[in-house]
């Protein structure tokens, strides 16, 4: 009987794992595993919402807890809000997320370009993939636009109907998703502060339910993967990206986006080395407009302050008798890339020189290797 409770994941959760204080915490359920009858009843009660779409009243409470993204920076707009949920609801969410990811993996639904929130995929693997593609572009002397997009609070802004449709594609039933998103859209929120939990609470207006899957939701990463995969597929269908033949086996290698959760690199490369940077400016701008538009349609937005791009182009250096990267003011085209910002306004995107490194995925990277930036 106790295996039913382990099936829901409660037995693996640490006892000190935070949860919404109106219900029992993980320690109670870990102790319940020792009693087959209690474990069976608990698993039975957990299964009712999954099979009926029902949201128990006790689960309609969330505790918002803000933590700093950077140690010591307590400015509110620089902090991340974590939503502590009822421990039973969280266990159900984690079970739904695991089921969805197992289904997606079994049916090959997950694109290789999405590395975030996946088993045996790390940020450093994606950080290695970028220089490898840059090396191919350099070897073939192909012009490309490389756009790094940073989404604003992607988990908190996902539109529910979009998430439901994409998670249905991942094999979850309507009742499982109905229970999860009805809880998220109509729950009562309280705030955890340094002076204790707030007594006052707030709920969404009946006509305007809350959106987003919430930071700290056990099903949040699979939800974002399911949404982002549709966006990557749209980029591929529109013909954007980079493709080449592998040197050893002449297999077609393609890449449209490199995604790690809310950080996405969009690529638009010329078909051959006869296409200059000036030739691909229009297609680069179109790709740069499409991705933020897709994010906007799902409820999110791109933060231009944390986003930037490189124009990879080459010119012949007659003095040194070799090819080199184009730089601003030389052969590089005068081109300002613009994207929709946080509020839909068109804003220019910062263009970096080929050896200007920026921190992405914890590593200082640039198309023209700059080891000193990483060492510093």
Q: Report the distance separating Cα 365 and Cα 350, nearest Å.
A: 16
- pLDDT band at residue 265, thresholds of 50, 70 and 90? very high
- pLDDT reported for residue 3: 46
How many other β-carbons are positioned within 10 Å of the β-carbon of residue 203? 12
In the beta sheet, which residues pair with residue 190? Answer: 63
Structure tokens at 279: 């030739």
Quote the pLDDT of residue 329.
62
Residues 307 and 264 in one domain: yes
Q: How far is CA 148 from CA 48, 151, 325, 361, in A?
A: 44, 10, 19, 11
Strands 346-348 and 338-340: antiparallel
Boundaries of domain holding 241:
123-154+222-375
pLDDT band at 249 (very low <50, low <70, confident <90, very high): confident
Judge whether residue 365 has pLDDT over 50: yes
Give 5-51 pLDDT, tens digit per residue.
444 555 566 676 778 887 788 888 888 888 888 888 888 888 888 88
Q: Which helix (H) or strand (E) holds 314?
A: strand 314-317
Q: Domain boundary residue among 176, 211, 246?
A: 211
| DSSP-assigned letter for residue 65 | E
For residue 15, being part of any structural domain is answered with yes
Q: What span, in angstroms and rounded, lies between the C-alpha atoms of 263 and 113?
A: 12
* Same domain as 303, residue 166: no
Task: Looking at the chain, list the stretches that DSSP marks H as alpha helix, in order from N- to C-terminal side.
Answer: 2-7, 26-32, 36-52, 87-106, 123-140, 154-157, 160-169, 174-186, 220-237, 281-297, 371-375
pLDDT at 121 over 70: yes
* pLDDT more than 90, % of the chain: 28
99 pLDDT exceeds 80? yes
- Mind listing the pLDDT tens digit for each residue in 204-233? 877 788 899 988 898 999 999 999 999 999
Residue 284 lies in a domain: yes
The stretch 334-349 carries a mean pLDDT of 87
Above 50 in pLDDT, residue 2?
Answer: no
144 & 289 share domain? yes
Residue 74 sits in the same domain as residue 148: no
Establish if 141 belongs to a structural domain: yes
Same-domain pairing of 50 and 190? yes
Does 317 share its domain with 187? no
The answer for residues whose C-beta is within 8 angstroms of residue 272's C-beta and 6 or more apart is 142
User: In a 3-state reduction of DSSP, which class is residue 119?
Assistant: coil
What's the pLDDT tens digit per position in 299-318? 989 988 889 999 999 988 88
Q: Are residues 177 and 283 in the same domain?
A: no
Both 57 and 146 in one domain: the answer is no
Residue 183 Rama label (left phi>0; alpha psi -120 to 50; beta): alpha
pLDDT in tens, 132-187: 999 999 999 999 999 999 888 888 889 999 999 999 999 999 999 999 999 998 88
Question: For residue 103, which phi and psi values (nearest 5 degrees)?
Answer: -65, -45
52 and 71, same domain (yes or no): yes
Q: Cβ-count burial of 25 within 10 angstroms (0-12 exposed, 13-18 middle, 19+ buried)?
A: middle
Specify if 117 maps to a domain.
Answer: no
Please, which pLDDT band fits residue 1 given cuts at 50, 70 and 90?
very low
Residue 196: band (very low, low, confident or very high) from pLDDT cuts 50, 70, 90: confident
Cα atoms in the Cβ-side hemisphere of radius 13 Å centred on 97: 21
**106 — alpha (psi -120 to 50), left (phi > 0) or beta?**
alpha
- 332 pLDDT band, cuts 50/70/90, is low
Q: How many structural domains is the chain composed of?
A: 2
Mean pLDDT to the nearest integer, 243-270: 87
Whether residue 21 is found in the same domain as residue 87:
yes
Look at residue 174 and give its three-state secondary structure.
Answer: helix
In this structure, is residue 118 part of a structural domain? no
Q: Which residues, at least 6 apart from 334, have a Cβ–Cβ distance to it below 8 Å?
A: none
Answer yes or no: are the C-beta atoms of 256 and 232 closer than 8 Å.
yes
Q: Taking each helix axis as running N to C, give the angle between helix 220-237 and helix 281-297, from 0 to 180 degrees, rounded to the nearest 10.
A: 150
Residue pair 91/6 in contact by the 8 Å Cβ criterion? no
Structure confidence at residue 333 (pLDDT): 65
């Amino acid at each position: 009987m106790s295996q039913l409770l382990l099936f829901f994941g409660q037995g693996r959760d640490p006892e000190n794992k935070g949860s919404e204080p109106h219900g029992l915490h993980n320690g109670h359920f870990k102790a319940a595993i020792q009693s087959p009858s209690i474990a069976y009843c608990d698993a039975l009660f957990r299964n009712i919402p999954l099979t009926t779409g029902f949201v128990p009243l006790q689960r309609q409470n969330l505790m918002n807890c803000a933590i700093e993204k950077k140690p010591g920076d307590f400015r509110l707009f620089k902090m991340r809000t974590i939503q502590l949920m009822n421990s039973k609801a969280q266990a159900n969410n984690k079970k739904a997320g695991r089921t969805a990811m197992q289904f997606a993996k079994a049916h090959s639904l997950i694109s290789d370009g999405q590395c975030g929130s996946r088993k045996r995929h790390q940020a450093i693997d994606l950080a290695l993939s970028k220089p490898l593609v840059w090396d191919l572009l350099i070897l073939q002397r192909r012009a490309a636009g490389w756009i790094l997009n940073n989404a604003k609070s992607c988990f908190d802004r996902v539109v529910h109907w979009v998430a439901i449709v994409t998670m249905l594609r991942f094999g979850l039933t309507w009742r499982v998703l109905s229970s999860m998103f009805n809880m998220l859209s109509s729950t009562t929120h309280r705030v955890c502060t340094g002076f204790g939990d707030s007594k006052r609470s707030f709920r969404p207006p009946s006509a305007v339910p809350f959106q987003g899957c919430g930071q700290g939701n056990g099903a949040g990463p699979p939800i974002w993967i399911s949404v982002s995969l549709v966006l990557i597929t749209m980029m591929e269908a529109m013909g954007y990206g980079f493709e080449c033949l592998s040197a050893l086996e002449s297999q077609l290698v393609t890449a449209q986006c490199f995604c790690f959760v809310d950080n996405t690199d969009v690529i638009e490369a010329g078909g051959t080395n006869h296409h200059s940077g000036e030739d691909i400016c229009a297609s680069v701008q179109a790709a740069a407009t499409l991705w933020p538009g897709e994010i906007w349609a799902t409820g999110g937005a791109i933060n231009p302050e944390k986003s930037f791009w490189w124009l990879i182009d080459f010119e012949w250096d007659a003095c040194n008798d070799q090819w080199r990267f184009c730089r601003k003011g030389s052969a590089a085209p005068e081109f300002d890339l613009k994207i929709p910002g946080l509020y839909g306004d068109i804003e220019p995107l910062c263009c970096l020189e080929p050896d200007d490194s920026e921190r992405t995925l914890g590593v200082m990277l640039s198309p023209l290797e700059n080891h000193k930036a990483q060492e510093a």
